[in-house]
Amino acid sequence: AQSVTQPDIHITVSEGASLELRCNYSYGATPYLFWYVQSPGQGLQLLLKYFSGDTLVQGIKGFEAEFKRSQSSFNLRKPSVHWSDAAEYFCAVGASSSGSARQLTFGSGTQLTVLP
Amino acid sequence: DAGVTQSPTHLIKTRGQQVTLRCSPKSGHDTVSWYQQALGQGPQFIFQYYEEEERQRGNFPDRFSGHQFPNYSSELNVNALLLGDSALYLCASSLIRQSTDTQYFGPGTRLTVL
């Protein structure tokens, strides 16, 4: 069975500083990986996804993530954080079976606080 | 292009009652998945519907049931509500024929069980 670990429950950064959110996954085959963001009381918005090919993927809002198979990691990065980036971030791995769409397994999330 | 919509936004029920939540998928999508997100947790997969059939199911009791209609919209039903069923229920839609299908989420329904 697949699993996702987000080791950092809460991260605080200053506005303008760089950001890296960690994600480690466990999955027997080539993983399909996702990062979603959730603002308070809201649903999940897709930031970026990795299916195959280039291991550095670009997403919306200036985010990027790098897939490292040897480390089973898919860390999310942003070079300069904005106050509006404060939210909860979820990493997810997608598992599929024949005739079905992907079932997502999520990590427990990382809460990002941005200081002025 | 309408995204995923869910109704109602909030719901308050008492233990033992039954509840029905509704979801309309993103235009062009044919698959609906339901997730439960307890406070402070990541979403957990409940089940997935495609062609009006349940295709996959997570580790949830059969008090949780669903339905998909010919227009691809879906309902989640929970019977005999428990306090522990209080959560944000998220619906996600996708297009199964895409080899790299991506799930798009609705805003969720906040269920409170008293």
Chain A contact present for B44, CB below 8 A = yes
Q: What is the mean pLDDT of chain B?
A: 93
Residue with tokens 């991506």: B102
**Which one-letter amino acid corresponds to residue B36?**
Q
| pLDDT tens digits, B40-83 | 899 999 999 999 999 889 999 999 999 999 999 999 999 999 99
Place of tokens 């950001």: A19
So what's the pLDDT on residue A89?
98
pLDDT per position as a tens digit, A5-62: 999 999 999 999 999 999 999 987 778 899 999 998 788 999 999 987 888 999 999 9
3-class DSSP state for residue A70?
helix
From chain A, pick out residues whose CB is under 8 angstroms from the CB of B104.
46
Interface test with B, best of A104, A105, A110, A111 (most B CBs within 10 A): A104
Flag if B90 and A44 touch (Cβ within 8 Å). Answer: yes
Distance CA A47, CA A80 (A): 16
Can you tell me the distance from the alpha carbon of B44 to that of A26, in angstroms, rounded to the nearest whole number? 16
Residue B1's pLDDT band (cuts 50, 70, 90): low
In chain B, % of residues over pLDDT 90 = 86
Taking the CA of residue B48 as centre, how many other CA atoms within 13 Å lie in the half-sphere pointing to its CB?
24
Cβ pair B77, B17 in contact under 8 A:
no
Residue A28 neighbours by CB under 8 Å, 6+ apart: A2
Q: Residue B30, Cβ neighbours under 10 Å: how many? A: 17
Q: Is A15 helix (H, G, I), strand (E, B) or coil?
A: coil
Residue B64, Ramachandran bin (φ over 0: left; ψ between -120 and 50: alpha; else beta): beta
Residue B84, Cβ neighbours under 10 Å: how many? 8
Q: Using CB atoms, which residue from A43, A97, A99 is nearest to B105?
A: A43
User: Residue A44: closest CA among chain B residues belongs to which residue?
Assistant: B105
Chain A neighbors of B96, CB-CB under 8 A = 100-101
Average pLDDT, stretch A76-93? Answer: 96
CA B67 to chain centre: 10
Residue B97 confidence (pLDDT) above 90: no
- The single-letter DSSP state of residue A31 is P
Q: How far is CA A66 from CA A5, A37, A38, B9, B42, in A?
A: 16, 17, 21, 35, 21
| Beta carbons of B100 and A99 less than 8 Å apart | no
